[in-house]
Amino acid sequence: MKQSFISKLKKIQRKTNSLLCIGLDTDVLKVPEFLFKYEDPQYEFNRRIIDATKDLVCAYKINTAFYEAVGEHCWYTVHHTLARIPEEIITIGDGKRGDIGNSAEKQAHQFCFDWEFAATTVNPYMGKEAVEPFLQRRDQCAFVLAVTSNKSAKDFQYLNVKGKPLYEHVVAQAKKWNTKKNVGLVVGATKPEELKRIRKIVPDMPLLIPGIGAQKGDLESTVRYGCDKHGELAIINIGRGIIYSSEGDNFAERAREAAIKYRDQINAYREQYF
Amino acid sequence: MKQSFISKLKKIQRKTNSLLCIGLDTDVLKVPEFLFKYEDPQYEFNRRIIDATKDLVCAYKINTAFYEAVGEHCWYTVHHTLARIPEEIITIGDGKRGDIGNSAEKQAHQFCFDWEFAATTVNPYMGKEAVEPFLQRRDQCAFVLAVTSNKSAKDFQYLNVKGKPLYEHVVAQAKKWNTKKNVGLVVGATKPEELKRIRKIVPDMPLLIPGIGAQKGDLESTVRYGCDKHGELAIINIGRGIIYSSEGDNFAERAREAAIKYRDQINAYREQYF
């Protein structure tokens, strides 16, 4: 029997001593020119980032839109990228899907069976049926969007419902859906107060926290409020702030330096607060 | 300059005298066996449905999950299917996307530029930034999910916010985003009361209405409440109820019969109420 998602996550976070997740949101327009001599420049970019950072992370997050925008070749790029990531590291397919039952099953087929990501991101607007197909296997986690890192998150997520913001109702439902212990939540690092509130409601759930780096989320409060009581179970995603550290041939080396810097900052805060 | 989305929609609804949209949610597991002698059975299925029904519809809706579940070949299947649909008919790429700005731009690239659907469906949970990239061209419409046709729609969409259900706040925001007159709304046919409320708030917006057929929405109230005051601008989607009318070699013929039946029923209600 495969280990549960949470066991796998804890194991890798302890092994690499890292809560860092690198976002492989590889924009083909930003890939250094020398990689265009290869057949698949996006993959070549990812391969070098993975090889240079795999001892520093607990997870890689692939926002599939960056690949799907390139066309049919995305299938190979995603598969090849996933094959390059060591088995013990968490892979997150960030597609923000969700649909009525029979359609969501097809979406889950793509992410959980074909690509076989260890985790996915799912939009809760359509309710439980939209999320359920992503929760079939206990070794695969669905991160439900609760508070997103963008500015217009407030358009709906903060609306007051019975004295509480909408996102807390999402959190409450996600707790109910968590019968297999494979539900997580997405909470933006740009929203530290919300992170604090949510961690109190779900002390043992994995939280995927984007928004550090280009989006300017606060790392100290992300670590302090995002972790469980053992200083674990937060997956702190940094994409552009690491992978685009240099535009030159040395991009992977620079990405490694940035990853070390972030990992160490995160660990310094972990020591301070846990 | 290209005509606006609404002009194009009105033109085709008048030409074919039809509000019917056929959902090409072609499940490869349900395609008749004789089509598997071809290289792309999903396309062969779609081609026959399109050829048999194109004089009876205003739109075809493609839920991309049914293609993406099959793998990389989906790119060709979607492109070939779109190429088979006459230019004057509306094509809807039903992917229910939405993300932070730079990622949503990539999603929109896939749907609006690469596949070049005339319309898309977008999930509002992440707010305006998630929808904006889909609204760049006035000849392309984004249908924002308001009330979906599934049962668990009530998990969040009906929550009471300042005396009104959440979906009405989505409708109000969508109205604000509609500066180019290319925003529409998705409202399930299984929710006639909500359809009635929403049509009052947005008298001139196109509504995409799924849920007739397999999901058992009510056709009479869909027509009565979904149309604008001229008996137009409702796009009534029927998928499984038409495309799987027969499992045999005569499936396209039977689909045509079912499409005629639905078109005529819709038109009978239009005559009664408008």
The minimal CB distance from A103 to the residues B63, B74, B100 is found for: B63
Q: Given B96, B180, B181, B196, which residue is catalytic?
A: B96
Q: What residues in B contact A152, CB-CB < 8 Å? A: 126-130
Q: Which of residues 64-123 of A touch B (CB under 8 A)?
A: 65-66, 68-69, 71-76, 96-104, 106-107, 109-110, 114, 123
Which residue in A has a C-alpha nearest to residue B214's C-alpha? A102
Mean pLDDT score across all residues of chain A? 97
The minimal CB distance from A123 to the residues B75, B100, B123 is found for: B123
Place of tokens 């094509």: B91
The residue among B24, B25, B67, B96 with the most chain A CBs within 10 A of its CB, best to mutate, is B96
Determine which of A126-130, B73-77, B206-210, B213-217 has the lowest per-residue pLDDT on average.
B213-217
Percent of chain A topping pLDDT 90: 97
Question: Is B65 in Cβ contact with A110 (below 8 Å)?
Answer: yes
The minimal CB distance from A100 to the residues B72, B114, B149 is found for: B149
Residue B3 is encoded by which pair of tokens? 């005509």
Q: What is the mean pLDDT of residues A231-257?
A: 97
Strand order in the sheet with B160-161: A164-165, A160-161, B160-161, B164-165
How many Å apart are CA A148 and CA B252, to the nearest integer?
44
**Amino acid identity, position B236:** I
Q: What residues in B contact A103, CB-CB < 8 Å? A: 25, 63, 65-66
The region that residue B187 occupies, defined by phi over 0 for left and psi between -120 and 50 for alpha, beta otherwise, is beta
Place of tokens 């290209």: B2
Percent of chain B topping pLDDT 70: 100
Place of tokens 């972990």: A270
Q: Going by DSSP bridges, is the β-strand pair B164-165/B160-161 parallel, antiparallel, or unpaired?
A: antiparallel
Q: What residues in A contact B157, CB-CB < 8 Å? A: 125-127
The region that residue B109 occupies, defined by phi over 0 for left and psi between -120 and 50 for alpha, beta otherwise, is alpha
- Side-chain-side CA neighbours of A114 within 13 Å: the count stands at 19
How many Å apart are CA B186 and CA B177, to the nearest integer?
15
Q: What residues in A contact B134, CB-CB < 8 Å? A: none
Question: Is A109 in Cβ contact with B126 (below 8 Å)?
Answer: no
How many Å apart are CA A270 and CA B10, to the nearest integer?
60
- pLDDT of A147 reads 98
How many Å apart are CA A142 and CA A206, to the nearest integer?
10
Q: What residues in B contact A123, CB-CB < 8 Å? A: 96, 98, 123, 125-126
DSSP H or E run through A1: none
Q: What residues in A contact B128, CB-CB < 8 Å? A: 152, 155
Q: What residues in A contact B114, CB-CB < 8 Å? A: 69, 71
Mean pLDDT score across all residues of chain B? 97
Banded pLDDT at B216 (limits 50, 70, 90): confident
3-state secondary structure of A39: coil
Question: Is A155 in Cβ contact with B128 (below 8 Å)?
Answer: yes
- pLDDT of A215 reads 82
- Measured over the CA atoms of residue A76, residue A79, residue A85 and residue A89, the dihedral's sign is positive
Question: Is A160 in Cβ contact with B160 (below 8 Å)?
Answer: no
- pLDDT of B1 reads 67
Whether A120 and A143 have beta carbons less than 8 Å apart is answered as yes
The minimal CB distance from B129 to the residues A126, A151, A162 is found for: A151
Domains identified in chain B, total number = 1
How many Å apart are CA B84 and CA B46, to the nearest integer?
9
CATH of the domain at A117: 3.20.20.70
Q: Is the pLDDT of residue B3 over 70?
A: yes
The reply to whether A192 touches chain B by the CB within 8 Å rule is no
The region that residue A263 occupies, defined by phi over 0 for left and psi between -120 and 50 for alpha, beta otherwise, is alpha
The reply to whether B156 touches chain A by the CB within 8 Å rule is yes
Banded pLDDT at A266 (limits 50, 70, 90): very high
Q: What is the mean pLDDT of residues A10-35?
A: 97
Question: Is B155 in Cβ contact with A127 (below 8 Å)?
Answer: yes
DSSP 8-state assignment for residue B160: E
Q: Given A11, A30, A54, A96, which residue is catalytic?
A: A96
- pLDDT of B81 reads 98
Q: B150 to chain A nearest CA, in Å?
A: 6
Residue A64 is encoded by which pair of tokens? 């599939």
Query: How far is C-alpha A87 from the chain's CA centre?
Result: 16
Q: B268 to chain A nearest CA, in Å?
A: 29
Digit-coded pLDDT (tens) for A90-142: 999 999 999 999 999 999 999 999 999 999 999 999 999 999 999 999 999 99
- pLDDT of B114 reads 96
Helix/strand/coil (H/E/C) assignment for every residue in B59-103: EEEEECHHHHCCCCCHHHHHHHHHHHCCCCCEEEEEEEECCCHHH
Tell me the residue range of the domain where B259 lies: 5-273
For the question of residue A96 being annotated catalytic, the response is: yes
Question: Is A104 in Cβ contact with B65 (below 8 Å)?
Answer: yes
Whether A260 and A56 have beta carbons less than 8 Å apart is answered as yes
Q: What residues in A contact B104, CB-CB < 8 Å? A: 65
Q: Is the pLDDT of residue B111 over 80?
A: yes
The alpha helices in chain A, defined as continuous H runs, are 5-15, 41-53, 65-68, 74-84, 101-108, 128-131, 166-176, 192-201, 219-226, 240-243, 251-273
**Amino acid identity, position A199:** R
Q: How many CB pairs under 8 A join A and B?
A: 169
Query: How far is C-alpha A88 from the chain's CA centre?
Result: 16
DSSP H or E run through B183: strand B183-187
Digit-coded pLDDT (tens) for B137-157: 999 999 999 999 999 999 999
Task: Provide φ and ψ at B88, rounded to 5°.
Answer: -75, -15
Q: How many CB atoms lie within 10 A of CB B252?
A: 20
Question: Is A126 in Cβ contact with B152 (below 8 Å)?
Answer: yes
- Looking at beta carbons, which pairs linking A189-192 to residues 24 or more positions away fall under 8 Å? A189/A149, A189/A215, A189/A217, A189/A218, A189/A219, A189/A222, A189/A226, A189/A236, A190/A149, A190/A215, A190/A216, A190/A217, A190/A218, A191/A147, A191/A149, A191/A153, A191/A217, A192/A217, A192/A218, A192/A221, A192/A222, A192/A225
Whether B109 and B131 have beta carbons less than 8 Å apart is answered as no
Whether B122 and B130 have beta carbons less than 8 Å apart is answered as yes
Q: Is the pLDDT of residue A1 over 70?
A: no
The residue among A150, A154, A176, A209 with the most chain B CBs within 10 A of its CB, best to mutate, is A150
Which residue in A has a C-alpha nearest to residue B23's C-alpha? A103
Cα angle for residues B218, B219, B225 (degrees, 5° grid):
90
